[in-house]
Amino acid sequence: MNDDILKVLYSTAEINAIIKRLAGEIKRDYARKNPLVVCILKGAIMFTTDLVRAIDDYCEIDFMDVSSYGDATESSGEVKIIKDLDTSVKGRDVLIVEDIVDTGRTLSYLMKLFKTRDANSVKICTLMDKTERRVVEVHADYVGTTVPNEFVVGYGLDYAERYRNLPYIGVLRPTVYEN
């Protein structure tokens, strides 16, 4: 295990089991709807690629890159679009895929944006929900698991762009970011 990881919260096998359950729910709810799956870069990259393969049914995939954390463990509060979608969401059933809901600012911003762009429906699928940290109200339709108020990394999630490639989700040793 990486020395900077205090403890593993979810192993690869546990992540896969969560994804199988979520994919089943999504496949049932979106049957014949051809949803537009929107992966929020960069954190949701691993989750999205595994989720859409587990859904194994019609869907289109697009990517949007937004950022509010920079290299910090605290959100700046301001959401910036780094890369917008290539696809129009007008009339589409949009499923936003996120790795984690923390303060809720990113998803609250995206929900409003896609509604003003006249999506037919907008739902959220998040692998993790850190409910204790919520600042802005956000309802996620599909939630993999609720996580404690600790800074987690791996399986797409970073601290200062590191640890995204760990195949598990772990709690980062606070000494890594406190110094």
Ligand X SMILES: O=P(O)(O)OC[C@H]1O[C@H](OP(=O)(O)OP(=O)(O)O)[C@H](O)[C@@H]1O
Number of residues that bind ligand HPA (CB under 6 A): 7
Active site residue 4: no
Nearby residues of 166 by Cβ (< 8 Å), 6 or more positions away: 2, 5, 153, 154, 155
Q: Is 129 in the site for ligand X (CB under 6 A)?
A: no
Tell me which of 93, 99, 102, 158 is the catalytic residue: 102
- For 100, the 3-state DSSP assignment is strand
Name the nearest CA neighbour of 5 among 174, 179, 146: 174
The least CB distance from residue 75 to ligand X, in Å, is 4
Number of residues that bind ligand X (CB under 6 A): 18
Name the nearest CA neighbour of 59 among 48, 70, 68: 48
Q: Which stretch binds ligand X (CB under 6 A): 10-18, 51-59, 61-69, 171-179?
A: 61-69
Near ligand X in 93-112, by CB under 6 A: 98-106
Nearer to ligand HPA, 100 or 176 (CB): 100
Q: Is 169 in the site for ligand X (CB under 6 A)?
A: no
CA–CA dist 23, 7 (Å, integer): 27
Catalytically active residues are 102
